[in-house]
């Protein structure tokens, strides 16, 4: 599987294997599939977008119309994907809406020695607070959405940091309709380079929303305790690619 993922050279490649005896009868429970995710360089424990893509493929190409849900057995537990109606005010004609039930990824204690030099790693940005998730990612809160958008990270520094990757986030402007803006950098897992070139778009992890839910847990490392975390959950926005990122 790793060799196939390296050949595809995408951010993540999902692999599915039927795991429920193959029953497709209307009376059967939700079909179950084993699911694993690989970047070009390594296997990962959780990937939101690849799970969503897997569910869409199964609902549209493999499973019968009566199957309204599918279970995925993964290294991080069993997840359920469900067909759901369109949200109020959204046209659902000819569209498939899928809901994923993912776990919350908690914050863990971290020692200051584990933290990188944020000004060097993020080329001059000043952190309001820094956290570490149970998944091994560092979450760096900046003061504004503009700082998040303008970041030009030092990829060589990120590769040397103790965390799996670095997620940067900042509060959205008042009246924007969003709670926070976020970007994610994970060069250790081969997510930074694509086909030998530096990609203009860093991966946006759906699983990152599981981490953001823990923002107010209080178990974190702060550069300045006078500025508490100001993260929140959905809705979120996928921004345009930035030069150099």
In sequence order, the 6+-apart residues with CB closer than 8 A to the CB of 199 are 192, 193
Domain boundary among 101, 120, 148: 101
Are 90 and 6 part of one and the same domain? yes
Residue 148 reports pLDDT greater than 80: yes
For residue 59, what are the contacts with CB-CB under 8 A and spacing of at least 6?
67, 70, 81, 83, 96, 98
Bridge-based pairing state of the strands 69-74 and 32-38: parallel
Residues 114 and 52 in one domain: no
Same domain? For 117 and 203 the reply is yes
Same domain for 35 and 119? no
Residues contacting 245, CB < 8 A, separation 6+: 151, 152, 153, 183, 185, 200, 201, 202
Question: For the domain that residue 16 is a member of, what is the CATH number?
Answer: 3.10.310.10
Catalytic residues: 12
| Number of structural domains in the chain | 2
In the structure encoding, which two tokens stand for residue 140, read together? 């760096």
pLDDT > 70? residue 154:
yes
**What pLDDT is recorded for position 15?**
98
pLDDT attached to residue 23: 52
Q: Is the pLDDT of residue 73 over 50?
A: yes
Q: Model confidence at 54, in pLDDT bands (50, 70, 90)?
A: very high
Same domain, yes or no: 12 and 54: yes
Mean pLDDT confidence for 65-84: 91
Shared domain for 78 and 155, answered yes or no, is no
Q: Looking at the domain assignment, is residue 143 inside a domain?
A: yes
β-bridge mates for residue 74, sequence order? 77
Predicted model pTM: 0.64
User: In the predicted model, what is the mean pLDDT of residues 23-33?
Assistant: 67
In a domain, 237, yes or no: no
Residue with the bigger pLDDT between 242 and 62: it is: 62
Question: Which residues make Cβ contacts (< 8 Å) with residue 23, sequence separation at least 6?
Answer: 31
Note down the domain range covering 203: 107-212
Is residue 97 located within the same domain as residue 114?
no
């Amino acid at each position: 599987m790793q060799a196939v993922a390296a050949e595809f050279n995408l951010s993540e490649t999902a692999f599915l294997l039927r795991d429920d005896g193959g029953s497709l009868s209307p009376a059967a429970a939700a079909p179950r599939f084993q699911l694993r995710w690989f970047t070009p360089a390594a296997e990962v424990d959780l990937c939101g977008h690849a799970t969503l893509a897997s569910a869409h493929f199964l609902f549209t190409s493999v499973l019968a119309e009566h199957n309204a849900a599918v279970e995925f057995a993964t290294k991080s537990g069993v997840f359920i994907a469900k067909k759901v109606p369109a949200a109020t005010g959204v046209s659902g004609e000819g569209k498939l809406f899928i809901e994923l039930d993912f776990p919350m990824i908690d914050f863990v204690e971290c020692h200051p020695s584990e933290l990188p030099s944020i000004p060097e790693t993020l080329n001059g940005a000043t952190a309001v607070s820094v956290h570490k998730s149970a998944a091994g990612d560092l979450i760096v809160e900046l003061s504004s959405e503009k700082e998040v958008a303008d970041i030009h990270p030092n990829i060589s520094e990120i590769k040397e940091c103790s965390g799996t990757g670095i997620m940067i986030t900042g509060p959205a402007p008042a009246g924007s309709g969003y709670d926070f803006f976020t970007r994610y950098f994970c060069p250790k897992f081969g997510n930074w380079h694509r086909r030998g070139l530096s990609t203009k778009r860093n991966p946006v992890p759906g699983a990152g929303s599981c981490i953001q839910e823990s923002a107010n847990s209080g178990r974190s490392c702060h550069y300045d305790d006078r500025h508490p975390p100001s993260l929140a959950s959905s809705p979120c926005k996928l921004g345009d690619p930035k030069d150099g990122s």
